[in-house]
Structure 1
Amino acid sequence: MSLKKNQTCAALSALLVSLLLVACSEKPEAMLSSAKDYLAKNDNKAAVIQIKNALQKNPDMPEARFMLGKTLLDSGDAAGAETELRKALALNYPQDPIVPLLANAMLAQGQAKKLTDEFGKTTLTDKPAQGAFLTSLATAYAAQGQAKPAQASLDAALAATPDYAPAKLIQARQKGGQRDFDAALALTEEVIASAPQNFEAWKLKGDLLRYAKDQPTEALAAYRKSVEIKPEFLAGQAALITLLFLQNNFADATTQLEQLKKFNPNHPQTKFLQAHLAYQQKDLKGARDLVQQVLKAVPGNVQALQLAGAVELQLNSPIQAEAYLSKALQAAPGLPLARRLLVTVYLRTGQAAKALATLTPGLSADNVDPALYALAGEVYLQNNDLKKAEEYFTKATQQDPQNARSRTSLALTRLVGGQVDSAFGELENIAASDAGTTADMALISAHLRRQELDKALQAIDGLEKKQPDKPLAANLRGRVLLAKKDVAGARKSFERALQVDALYFPAVASLAGLDLADNKPADAKARFDAVLAKDPKNSQALLALAELSLRTGGSKEDVIKLLDHAVTANPTEVAPRILLIDYYLRNKDFKQATSAAQNATATLPENPDILGALGRAQQASGEFNQALASYNKLSALQPMSPMPYLFMADVHMAMKDKTAAANSLRKALELKPDLQQAQRGSILLDMDGKNIQGALATAKTMQKQDPKGAVGYVLEGDINASQKNWDSAANAYRDGLKQVSSPELAIKLHSVLLAANKPGDADRLATTWQRDNPKDAAFVLYLGDGAINRKDYASAEKLYSTVIKVQPNNAVAYNNLAWVSARLNRDSAIALAEKANTLAPNQPAFMDTLAVLLSDKGDYAKAAELQTKAVALQPQNPVFKLNLAKIHIKGGKKELAKVQLDELAALGDKFGGQKEVAELLKTP
């Protein structure tokens, strides 16, 4: 370095030291004065620095705390603003300037209920401050759906400050909520006339023009005016961008969002809009990542919770969706979209009672969300209240008489209610008059449910006329023809679908299924190969080849090679990676499973499914701390999901840390109080700790949460049965049967009656149950197993034969009947076992039965081949190895038998058949 540079640096250093000394010697009051100067120049960042410098000197300056809170709020940091404003209050800074700002900060964080609970009775002395505060209070009450307190607060705000623009705008919004749109628009225009630069008024005008007047062009102009006045106005930007979304103008929406990012790139509202854009563009993963960032910054923001719920619903994560939407509704019960989405979650997951409970408050609101009517029809339909369902579907069609979906739902409800002729006539009319296909699909489905196959084919003809260039109709026709046992016609229809679209995979899969039924696996493989020839990266075809290899006895190496190919061809697709990991886990190749999961995580580091698979692989490998780390990361990605905590509980149990397991289960239940897996785990821990009353209390809670479900009653009965409290167990099962006709409850009640030495009661139950439930195969299968245990093979034969009559494709019944038939020396035994293996190929238990029967008949070669495959599929099953050894001995292959017997002998006490193993080893 030159001398001149050294001198320059020295001079600069001296200057910096001098400035530092000045800063250090400056009094906090002077720093605060400097901050005010910066604020006057709209330099908030410099002002914040000076205020913080002042507070470092004197943390108890109330004015500095107030100024910092106000400045942070203006900068969009609502959480920081709330903290500082509360500190100012604690330091006795006057309420009048603080409370209105604090109210705004709390509203910005979605804390409407907290605001009304804490400050609902607060009164300020300054009228403008009181008007501003009461206006915020009105907004908070309205967000909770509390119309009367909201109106009272608004009236008081206008009384305090008659011309206060925010209050008049709320009044305008209320008029709009009462559907008095002309009055609402007039009030908004009054505000604009007196304050042309009021950006919020321009935004409200846009809302009224968009929603009430259906004038999207004029609304767009009003929104643009609001952000022209204040470019960083997030609500205006949000409305403008959202309207651009609805117009499918994603280019302008993206441009507008980029403009907003210049002002507030990291603001939660900006991130929210980005998430909203990603959602609209079907980038669900991106939307999920962005909305998680919003929720980290403002965990209680109802709009973010609502969007997060919508994203998870689209990603088919109903538990996560339910958690977000429930929290959104708790904070804002009047939120219509969150309510609709939550009802939809419950409908999709078959929780009809919960759907009804969530729906009902929305139907009793002052202004019912019109979109709720059609949903209400579906809810009442699932709850078997056909009258109510028809009532709400009728209301939905009255709202929009041309809506084919609502009309179709109404017709289907009438169909379920027995109005068959009129319902089918209505469906046919809708299908004929509407260019859409909703009614066509409903008509086809209704005919299929009634097994009216010819009429279904006629309806499919109508669908095909509307969609001659799509393969759906031809594929549906193929499915119907298969149901008519017209295999040749079905083949032609599936082939017709492929003529329309050679890559239409449902038709390819159907044809491959027919090939397999004809015992032509090579033809099935050729079909998937043909798809890959046209589309080498087609993941469905690649995975189908892997499944085909698995079903046809392909080697482990072949299956892994195919799954690897699917992963390589589509590295960012989740499904192939999950299948590969799970395949390794099923084969107990934990090292490879972990390696595959780590590779997947490297490519998709933020994917919850991949992280969950990594945790499973690490847990299976005994890497418990690593598994906990993976599940902790998963919980950070999905903070409202109880599942990561459920997984952690499993790991803690494997580590024998029952206290940690209980804590994890508690956290899971805090997020979802009716999560049955967590409740079951809690019961198991209580039972292990001899806390029987605690276990019973959880079972009772489950019954209250789901009174029409069997699980709570099953668990109560099981807990009592474990203590040999047979009467209490029986009472629990009986209580459950009063609520729901459950084969599981009937089976368990029968078993405890036998355990209580009440065979008469058990027989009466069996007779009554079979009479009232003639199509229940599970109970009869259970009785058959009991007959086998008693060695009453004749009764078992009759019972399994009954099961097969009810369920002709029940492989378990065929397998068990084959075993019983062999005991009874029936010639049909082998044929029955072969039928079981045809219905469920590559099932080791069924293969074992057939192999033993073949061996008994002297077909040692075929028996040994089949049993060897069974052992390969379940190498850890000692019974299969023992039977293979016996088959080898019968076939004169004593050396091969010895290999299996030596392996069994090495198990020692882990296998209870060592006496028989020792005797077989002595076989000359």
Structure 2
Amino acid sequence: MTSLLHRTLAIATLVAALVGTACGDSPEAMLASAKEYLAKNDQAAATIQLKNVLAKNPDSAEARFLLGKALLENGDVTAAEVELRKALELKHPADQVVPLLARVLLAQSQFKKLDELAKTSIASAEGLADLKTTLAQSLAMQGKPEAARTMLDEALAAKSDFAPALLLQARIKVANNDLAGAHAIIDGILARAPQDVNAWLFKADLLNAEGKTAEAVAAYEKGLALKPQALNAHAALIMTHLRERQPEKAAKQLEAMQKVAPKHPLTYYEQGLLAFTKKDLATAKSAVDNLLKLQPDSPQGLQLAGLVAFESRSDLQAQDYLRKALQKAPALALARRTLVLSYLRSGQSAKAVETLQPVLHGDETAPTWLELAGNAYLQNGDAKTAEEFFQRATKANPQNKKAQTALALARLRGGHTAEALGDLEAIAASSETDTSADMALIVASIRTRQFDKALQAIANLEKKRPDHPLVHNLRGGALLAKGDQEGARKSFEKALAIDPAYLPAASALAQMDLRANRPEEAQKRFEAVLAKDPKNAQAMLALAELRARGGAKTSDLVELIKRAIDAAPAEPAPRLALIGAYLREQDKDKALAAVQEALAAIPDRPELLDAAGRVYQMNGDNQQALTIYSKLANLMPTSPQPYLRMAEIQLAAKNREGARSSLTKGLSALPDSLALQRALIQLDLEEGKLEAALARAREIQKAQPQQSVGYLFEGDAHAANKAWAQAANAYRAGLKAAPATELAQRLHAVLLADGKTVEARAHADAWLKQHPKDHAFRLYLAEQANRNKDFATAAAHYRNLLANQPNNPALLNNLAWTLGQMKDPQALSLAERANSLAPNQPAIMDTLGMLLVERGEGKRGVELLAKAVELQPQAALIRLNYAKALIKTGDKNTARRELEELSKLGERFPAQAEVAALLKSL
């Protein structure tokens, strides 16, 4: 009741003041009113009255001075400087103005201007003590402690009991660890002036630093009772409550702070910090944006903005903020640590290592940086240096299991497999609670195909994490890799029995269902997860993918994908799925709308930017596509892909110079990029610059004589010019430098092109004899044989490949097609098997459909081909086969419509002669 009455009276007083002004109060009366408000620490009301005075009398020196004082108290130092300088120009006493102006300049770190102000002559003892105290603070901030102490002595000589000088003296004692001396000074001030707000707040800071939280809170609250506008006290209380894990009290204190200074930079900072601790990133971002509008160079504000961006996975923005924060304040450890983590997450390990250098001081490096440095060097490919840092981290803290585990993994990457696995076993056994080493041991054992070791490690993990679905999921994975299908299934099912919404186990079982040709059962796995966890976006996407494979309508898939977006609006995967669904339907407008909505929600994710670039290009907006890929290049400075995509867009627009410029720019940033080198060589060849292409290829050979890629590029250049013998020589030289499948394929191809069939066959036989498990080369030979209509040879290669991969639907389909060309009756059963293993795949349905038609099962064959066309309407060859099947089964009208659609493709479809012949025959 009293509080409400007090507020009502305060409002009434303010309204009366405003009404009085409107009725013609004199400047003198308003000035007197302003002084009363200042005496009550009501800076806001005082500011209104003083501005009213200046509206009537802009040359009032006293009003300018008092307004400057009120603005300084309210934290608006920029405006305060303007008013105080005007007060000086209007001849207000320098003894009063200069000390306040000095504080304003100190708050802005304008040390040079402050030095100039120091020359001003001050007559009063208090004014001189005030100025010299500010100058002492300035010297201390500039790292001149001796000069600061001398200046402070001069301040106290001017006025021995000047409280601000004594407070600075107390701070110096704290810096020298003389806490008792600091307490004595503060207690002396408060004994003489128990209403000294600054003394109470310093006492609170001192108690807080000593860990006396309850006493510190009481002192802060005493200071706020004397001066509710003391923003530092509000901020300190918020930080204290957060540290004590009392967010409700912190939020209540923020409300009090917002009442007295809602738009102050410090208020925005505390609002952002509190929201950040609650993971409310949207509110945190809004608050820090407001802060940086007022103080764009605030190191703490930039750091907080970087943290918010990092947590939002906007690495490009996070890195920009954090770099600026460190430029302003290199000692901000949290900003440096987060910047390193952002670089590591975005694959910029070299920059992570560079950022760490200022805090890596040899043997004196702080332990907090050792483990992070190890991870940075490990990701940067320097396992030896990484191992050294991990060893030091372990030595600094022998209980740090994460550092010990990282050390073992560094040794594993360095090739010391047995030693590393032994270390992981020892670390895992040494702790009854920490599981990081157990997990690393399990993953490493499976990767090295030591399944029994992995299963033993999983059994040990189960003792630490009994009845956890993760354990059974890991066991299922190990058993599956070992070949124990039944055991794996039981383990995955046990994981789901513990947690029916455990997606990893459901996904593993769904994959097993698909391999067993039970797609309906696979879908039920994800439906069961969603029944328990209706907002599981990953489960929704997995279900959408399965339904798409089953031929579901795009509209049904879109509905499910949009639910996934609503469930996880900050995740890129659902948005990519939606864009992909529209692209499959060739719906450019909806794809563009989905892209724009995705970028508005998640602006800096590389995968979304890449999709956006493709969609903008598809919509004919090449300039926007190039802008997108330029941004992607900044976001992924170690990737050649953005530059390659820019060049592709420019080439499609017949802008060869632009394409060359993009590739050259990429090479200047990534001089070792083979992809960019290859693209430039290809561009040279297309422009008839054979010598330039060959020169570039030979430069690569000189730089990397033990690698085959330079020879590959040289051979390709000769082959493009149909210089088959020179191409063959280049490929042979490359095979001597470093045998590679791609070179072996190229050599075989140019020998055939040069008419040297016997030599080509001899090369192929020799290569397979030396590399019997080179499945890629054998697949190439099969496809080459099919092109040459040597179906018997192609079939032999496919059968050999199927011996190693008996359930590979692509190989089964290819063998079925090849045998179909040979009129082999086994073709149909192979095609049926491929279709059952991978249902609703247009290429497989095409093969099976044509075989069925040829074997007299026209109705089913045509139905399959029609569905294949529906699933992939842009596949012209499938549409042609569909038309042939329609003709064969007597449906000439539908066949004619299909062929007419194909004829509209013109030169884009190479089989137009066959299309024309078929149309003529109808």
The structural deviation recorded for 1:827 is: 3.6
Contact 2:785 2:791 in 1 (8 A): no
The structural deviation recorded for 1:780 is: 6.3
Determine whether 1:313 maps to 2:310.
yes
Amino acid paired to 1:135: Q
Structure 1 residues 90 and 493: CA distance shift in structure 2, 3 A: farther
Q: 2:391 aligns with which of 387, 390, 394?
A: 394
Aligned equivalents of 1:304, 1:581: Cα separation in 2: 36
The structural deviation recorded for 1:461 is: 0.9
Per the alignment, residue 831 of structure 2 pairs with: none
Contact 1:871 1:881 in 2 (8 A): yes
CA shift digits 1:440-476 (9 cap, x unpaired): 1122223233222211111111111000021111101
Per the alignment, residue 74 of structure 1 pairs with: 73
Per the alignment, residue 413 of structure 1 pairs with: 410
Per the alignment, residue 492 of structure 2 pairs with: 494
The structural deviation recorded for 1:579 is: 3.7
Per the alignment, residue 295 of structure 2 pairs with: 298
**TM-score, normalised by the number of residues in structure 1:** 0.75
Per the alignment, residue 49 of structure 1 pairs with: 48
Contact 2:617 2:625 in 1 (8 A): yes
Bigger mean CA deviation after superposition, 460-469 or 569-578: 569-578
Aligned equivalents of 1:793, 1:304: Cα separation in 2: 71
Bigger mean CA deviation after superposition, 37-46 or 216-225: 216-225
Q: 2:872 aligns with which of 861, 874, 878?
A: 874
Amino acid paired to 1:49: I
- 3-state SS of 2:367 partner: coil
Amino acid paired to 2:557: V
CA shift digits 1:879-914 (9 cap, x unpaired): 443343244445554333212111123455765654
* Correspondence list, 1:399-548, <5 A: 399-420=396-417, 422-434=419-431, 435-548=433-546
Determine whether 1:329 maps to 2:326.
yes
CA shift digits 1:841-890 (9 cap, x unpaired): 75656766776788789886676555434432332344443343244445
Aligned equivalents of 1:301, 1:695: Cα separation in 2: 41
Per the alignment, residue 553 of structure 2 pairs with: 555
Bigger mean CA deviation after superposition, 462-471 or 216-225: 216-225
Aligned equivalents of 2:775, 2:893: Cα separation in 1: 42
* Correspondence list, 1:160-239, <5 A: 161=155, 164=165, 167-168=168-169, 171=172, 182-183=177-178, 185-186=179-180, 188-189=182-183, 191-196=185-190, 197-199=198-200, 201-202=202-203, 204-206=205-207, 208-210=209-211, 232-239=229-236
The structural deviation recorded for 1:569 is: 8.0
Amino acid paired to 1:874: Q
CA shift digits 1:234-262 (9 cap, x unpaired): 44444443343344333333333333333
Contact 1:662 1:685 in 2 (8 A): yes
* Correspondence list, 1:677-696, <5 A: none
Aligned equivalents of 2:704, 2:215: Cα separation in 1: 57
Amino acid paired to 1:256: Q
Contact 1:427 1:443 in 2 (8 A): yes
Per the alignment, residue 904 of structure 1 pairs with: 902
Per the alignment, residue 597 of structure 2 pairs with: 614
Amino acid paired to 2:391: T
Contact 2:576 2:611 in 1 (8 A): no
Considering only CA atoms, is the larger Rg found in Structure 1 or Structure 2?
2
Determine whether 1:129 maps to 2:128.
no
Structure 1 residues 590 and 682: CA distance shift in structure 2, 3 A: closer
Q: 2:108 aligns with which of 106, 109, 116?
A: 106
Q: Percent identity?
A: 37
Bigger mean CA deviation after superposition, 490-499 or 885-894: 885-894
* Correspondence list, 1:27-66, <5 A: 35-53=34-52
Amino acid paired to 1:438: S
Amino acid paired to 2:315: P
Aligned equivalents of 2:24, 2:418: Cα separation in 1: 93
* Correspondence list, 1:111-122, <5 A: none
Contact 1:35 1:46 in 2 (8 A): yes
Amino acid paired to 2:500: A
Report the RMSD for the aligned CA atoms in angstroms: 5.3
Q: 2:24 aligns with which of 22, 25, 43?
A: 22
Per the alignment, residue 834 of structure 1 pairs with: 812
Amino acid paired to 1:132: T
Contact 1:339 1:362 in 2 (8 A): no
Determine whether 1:354 maps to 2:351.
yes
Bigger mean CA deviation after superposition, 779-788 or 97-106: 779-788
The structural deviation recorded for 1:267 is: 3.2
Structure 1 residues 824 and 650: CA distance shift in structure 2, 3 A: closer
Stretches of structure 1 that go unaligned for 5 or more consecutive residues are 1-12, 108-114, 142-148, 176-181, 598-611, 617-630
Contact 2:598 2:608 in 1 (8 A): no
Aligned equivalents of 2:205, 2:706: Cα separation in 1: 55
Amino acid paired to 2:71: L
Contact 1:135 1:167 in 2 (8 A): yes
- 3-state SS of 2:381 partner: coil
Aligned equivalents of 1:470, 1:20: Cα separation in 2: 74
Structure 1 residues 216 and 732: CA distance shift in structure 2, 3 A: farther
Per the alignment, residue 803 of structure 2 pairs with: none
- 3-state SS of 1:547 partner: helix
Contact 1:100 1:136 in 2 (8 A): no
Per the alignment, residue 337 of structure 2 pairs with: 340
Determine whether 1:751 maps to 2:729.
no
The structural deviation recorded for 1:102 is: 4.0
The structural deviation recorded for 1:427 is: 2.5
Aligned equivalents of 1:150, 1:367: Cα separation in 2: 25
Contact 1:714 1:745 in 2 (8 A): no
Aligned equivalents of 1:564, 1:41: Cα separation in 2: 57
CA shift digits 1:310-355 (9 cap, x unpaired): 2333333323322322222233222111111111112222222111
- 3-state SS of 1:300 partner: coil
Structure 1 residues 650 and 187: CA distance shift in structure 2, 3 A: farther
Amino acid paired to 1:347: L
Structure 1 residues 713 and 504: CA distance shift in structure 2, 3 A: same
Contact 2:105 2:114 in 1 (8 A): no
Aligned equivalents of 1:639, 1:580: Cα separation in 2: 18
Aligned length: 847
Per the alignment, residue 830 of structure 2 pairs with: none
Amino acid paired to 2:317: Q
Structure 1 residues 754 and 907: CA distance shift in structure 2, 3 A: closer
Amino acid paired to 1:205: L
Contact 1:68 1:84 in 2 (8 A): yes
Per the alignment, residue 885 of structure 1 pairs with: 883
Structure 1 residues 714 and 388: CA distance shift in structure 2, 3 A: same
Structure 1 residues 87 and 922: CA distance shift in structure 2, 3 A: farther
Structure 1 residues 563 and 122: CA distance shift in structure 2, 3 A: same
CA shift digits 1:687-739 (9 cap, x unpaired): 89999999777756655545555566556656655654444455556666848
CA shift digits 1:275-304 (9 cap, x unpaired): 323332333444344434433443333223
Structure 1 residues 538 and 391: CA distance shift in structure 2, 3 A: closer
Structure 1 residues 235 and 34: CA distance shift in structure 2, 3 A: closer
Amino acid paired to 2:396: Q
The structural deviation recorded for 1:381 is: 1.6
The structural deviation recorded for 1:378 is: 0.8
Per the alignment, residue 270 of structure 1 pairs with: 267
Aligned equivalents of 1:254, 1:387: Cα separation in 2: 48
The structural deviation recorded for 1:516 is: 0.7
